[in-house]
Chains A and B, each alone.
Chain A
Amino acid sequence: MSNEKSGGAGSVVLIVVAFGIALAVFYGLNHFIMNIQGLPLNWDLTPAG
């Protein structure tokens, strides 16, 4: 939501990095939240056990 136009390749890198961070945050959040409830998940987020 920035007014400025960033350089093409640079903005792609920014968005990729940003999405990478966001995905990591929510992936970790999913595991954490389900674990503290005693509901472990596999790496692919399917219920474990």
Chain B
Amino acid sequence: MSFKRVSKLGCIRSFSAFIGAFLLALLIVGVTVPSVSVAAGVSDTLEERISPMGRVHIEGDDSFEPAVKTEASEAEEVVPYQMKKPSRSDYPDIGVSSRAVVWILAQLHLFFGALVLAIPLFVLVIELVGFRTGDERYDSMAHEFMKISLTGFSITAIIGGALAFALFTLYPDLMAYLTHVFGAQMLVYASLFFFESFFLYTYYYGWNAMRYGNLKWLHLTLGLLLNAAGMTIMVMANSWATFMMAPSGVNEVGQVVGNIWEVMKGPLWNPINLHRFIANIAFGGAVVGAYAAFKFLSTRDPEKRAHYDWMGYTSNFIAILSFLPLPFAGYWLMAEIYAYSQQMGITAMGGILAWLFIVQAVLIGTILLAANYYLWAGMSRTEGSERYKPLIKMIAFVLVVCFLIWVTPHTLILSASEIAALGGSHHHLLGPLGIMPAKNIAVNLMLIVTFLSFQLYRRSDKVATVSWAPFGNALMVAIYVVAMVNVIFAGVYYGYFTNTVYKVGSSVMQVSSTLVVIVVGITLDAFLFKGAKTLPSYWGKVPDRAQYALFALPVAFTWLMGLMGYVRSSVKTHWHVYTVMKDNSPDNFIPTIGYAGNMITLVTVLFLILVLFMFWIANLSATKQPKPAVSADGGAA
């Protein structure tokens, strides 16, 4: 049974505006955060040499000076706060690695937190689309997404509470310090849960009661406020993590010298806010896509298969469209880490943690291959896709080649004889593929061709009828070709044949080229296909194997999140609060990649089990046990 194809334009336009809004936010933030270069004096002491270069202070406040303990200050009436420097014996020993306990709880909390922040975001957008188009299917899909995520809020809170207990019990001095620094801000964070719960319950349980007219607008407002509460919760908690990585508003001995805004608004806060905001949406889309895939595979009813096929497509659409700008937000975060502390930046990508970014390449390659594969398989829903089949091979070729370039390492783990045989520590041909210019070329090309897969899919059930269609198509082809050549040119020329400053700057050129393709593609198609002839297409007419791509996506996303979370946390090496409070616990070392891999796999498996529980509970609430038949003699069967 085929459903009438609703124009996707409204959906595309809304989502495009959504993406455009936070890309605009990225631009605003990127321009307004000043990068004032300060001539750094040469210092001789060890503390100053490893100290971070960046500082945060109130503009115009020339009296900013680190407080130094002198006889005069000790004689003052008010004794300045002394941050306790924990020794090994100050850490409680519970018989198992405290770090492992906190790692599992923190990562699970982040997984579920991301999920329950993301789902209301795109649920609201889908509800808005349904409201604007009058198509009931969008509204019921939005409602269904909320239903399956409801238990997730409780799970997030339960794990968060356990995390808090673990942190305060196992790292009492660190937590005493953080509560001293952040003070009432933590109470504000806690109070936000009341608001979030209120808006969540009224939004979900009031769905049918506030279905039309003004009440529907009220419902949408509640959804808006739910998202606002959730986002505020996230950015407040982000400030604790970024403070630990790049402390601001405190001096070298941990005394608070600034106000709460200086403490919160460190150099990494907004990069992490943006990166997590976008990543949450991609992650949430992937998880609900797996739900849709499961429901699709477990039913033979054509109407249900059509419904869940459409749901899976929408989820994949959300996941991939928000995934496209994600590497750029991550790049901004890494750039700010480098600007804050070159030591920390090199630890992350040039030193001990560098190999993790090769693992990251494997995961992102998996995600892009799975997402593209799903789109190609989905093209069998319509006959109009036949004309694009030859292009799929080209896209697959580009994806695979770029993937191989991306996973090529720079520094190899070699024995002395291997180094002698190789003629050096790097391969003379493949070594250059291991540095950033090659990676930037690869990732930008992969994103461009992924967008091409999207665009071809969306075009496959339409035939343009406007008079300028041949020119429009020629222009689109030209934009793609020139953009890809530009990405390669910028990466090769500035990356290998000019100085470092131009090399780094050219990465922005590459990003912009990719963004031009996406923006032009969306805009051009919106105009090109006005009044287009629609070809028949059938939801549900998709091979089963495409649903397995939707299973692969959240697994890869989850593992990727766990991996990057590990990088973010361990980049401060043996510090609890970088350069301020040393980590003196028994776990103050970076574990082997194998150990980290096992931990990440463990939390991923735990997360997936809990997500299955979440879906099961959602289905359970709709299950009714039939009443037992009464037997002939009057007794119950």
Q: Do A and B come from one complex?
A: yes
Chain A residues in contact with chain B, CB under 8 A?
Answer: 1-4, 6, 11, 14-15, 17-19, 21-23, 25-26, 29-30, 33-34, 37, 39, 45-47
Contacts of B498 in A (CB 8 A): 46-47
Contacts of B508 in A (CB 8 A): 33-34, 37
Shortest Cβ distance from residue B388 to the other chain A in the assembled complex, whole angstroms: 7
B479 close to A3 (CB less than 8 A): no
- With A3-B463, A33-B508 known as contacts, the answer to whether A26 contacts B470 (CB < 8 A) is no
Q: What's the Cα separation between A9 and B571 when bound, in Å?
A: 60
Q: What's the Cα separation between A11 and B469 when bound, in Å?
A: 12
Can you report 8 A-B residue pairs in the complex whose CB atoms are below 8 A from each other? A1-B388, A2-B470, A14-B470, A15-B474, A29-B516, A33-B509, A39-B502, A45-B493
Contacts of A37 in B (CB 8 A): 505, 508
Confirm or deny: B513 has a beta carbon within 8 angstroms of a beta carbon on chain A: yes
Confirm or deny: B394 has a beta carbon within 8 angstroms of a beta carbon on chain A: no
Shortest Cβ distance from residue B31 to the other chain A in the assembled complex, whole angstroms: 9
Quick one: closest B residue to A14, CB to CB? B474
Q: What's the Cα separation between A23 and B516 when bound, in Å?
A: 12
Shortest Cβ distance from residue A5 to the other chain B in the assembled complex, whole angstroms: 10
B residues 485-544 near A (Cβ < 8 Å) are 486, 490, 493-494, 498-499, 501-502, 505-506, 508-509, 512-513, 516
Q: Which of B456, B471, B509 is close to A34, meaning CB atoms less than 8 Å apart?
A: B509
A26 close to B513 (CB less than 8 A): yes
- With A33-B508, A33-B509, A39-B505 known as contacts, the answer to whether A26 contacts B516 (CB < 8 A) is yes
Chain B residues in contact with chain A, CB under 8 A?
Answer: 387-388, 391, 456, 459, 463-464, 469-471, 473-479, 481-483, 486, 490, 493-494, 498-499, 501-502, 505-506, 508-509, 512-513, 516
Number of A-B contacts (CB under 8 A): 81
- With A18-B474, A18-B478 known as contacts, the answer to whether A2 contacts B513 (CB < 8 A) is no
Contacts of B513 in A (CB 8 A): 26, 29
Q: What's the Cα separation between A42 and B470 when bound, in Å?
A: 35
- With A1-B476, A39-B502 known as contacts, the answer to whether A19 contacts B482 (CB < 8 A) is yes
Contacts of A14 in B (CB 8 A): 470-471, 474
Contacts of A18 in B (CB 8 A): 471, 474-475, 477-478
A2 close to B469 (CB less than 8 A): yes
Q: Which of A19, A21, A26, A46 is close to B486, meaning CB atoms less than 8 Å apart?
A: A26
B470 close to A3 (CB less than 8 A): no
Q: Which of B391, B475, B490 is close to A22, meaning CB atoms less than 8 Å apart?
A: B475
Q: What's the Cα separation between A23 and B494 when bound, in Å?
A: 18
Q: What's the Cα separation between A23 and B513 when bound, in Å?
A: 11
B470 close to A33 (CB less than 8 A): no
Contacts of B483 in A (CB 8 A): 22, 26
A22 close to B502 (CB less than 8 A): no
B516 close to A47 (CB less than 8 A): no
Give the secondary structure class of A's interface.
Answer: helix
Q: Which of A2, A23, A47 is close to B473, meaning CB atoms less than 8 Å apart?
A: A2
Shortest Cβ distance from residue A17 to the other chain B in the assembled complex, whole angstroms: 8
Contacts of B499 in A (CB 8 A): 47
Contacts of B473 in A (CB 8 A): 1-2
B478 close to A33 (CB less than 8 A): no
- With A11-B470, A26-B516, A39-B501 known as contacts, the answer to whether A1 contacts B477 (CB < 8 A) is yes
Contacts of A29 in B (CB 8 A): 486, 509, 512-513, 516
Contacts of B505 in A (CB 8 A): 33-34, 37, 39
Shortest Cβ distance from residue A14 to the other chain B in the assembled complex, whole angstroms: 5
Q: What's the Cα separation between A14 and B477 when bound, in Å?
A: 11
Q: What's the Cα separation between A6 and B493 when bound, in Å?
A: 37
Shortest Cβ distance from residue B357 to the other chain A in the assembled complex, whole angstroms: 24
Contacts of B474 in A (CB 8 A): 11, 14-15, 17-18
Contacts of A25 in B (CB 8 A): 479, 482, 516
Q: What's the Cα separation between A12 and B501 when bound, in Å?
A: 40
Contacts of A6 in B (CB 8 A): 470
Most chain B CB within a 10 A radius of its CB, from A6, A33, A34: A33
Q: What's the Cα separation between A30 and B486 when bound, in Å?
A: 9
A47 close to B482 (CB less than 8 A): no
* A2-B464, A26-B486 given; 14 more Cβ-contact pairs under 8 Å: A2-B473, A14-B471, A18-B475, A19-B478, A22-B479, A22-B483, A23-B482, A29-B512, A29-B513, A33-B505, A33-B508, A33-B509, A34-B508, A34-B509
Shortest Cβ distance from residue A13 to the other chain B in the assembled complex, whole angstroms: 9
Most chain A CB within a 10 A radius of its CB, from B471, B476, B516: B471
Quick one: closest A residue to B506, CB to CB? A34
Q: Which of A17, A22, A34, A47 is close to B481, meaning CB atoms less than 8 Å apart?
A: A22
Q: What's the Cα separation between A2 and B524 when bound, in Å?
A: 14
Contacts of B388 in A (CB 8 A): 1
Q: What's the Cα separation between A47 and B493 when bound, in Å?
A: 10
Quick one: closest A residue to B473, CB to CB? A2
Contacts of A2 in B (CB 8 A): 464, 469-470, 473
Q: What's the Cα separation between A22 and B481 when bound, in Å?
A: 9
Q: What's the Cα separation between A19 and B486 when bound, in Å?
A: 13
Quick one: closest A residue to B472, CB to CB? A2
B482 close to A26 (CB less than 8 A): yes
Contacts of A46 in B (CB 8 A): 498
Contacts of A15 in B (CB 8 A): 474, 477-478
B501 close to A22 (CB less than 8 A): no
Q: What's the Cα separation between A4 and B506 when bound, in Å?
A: 39
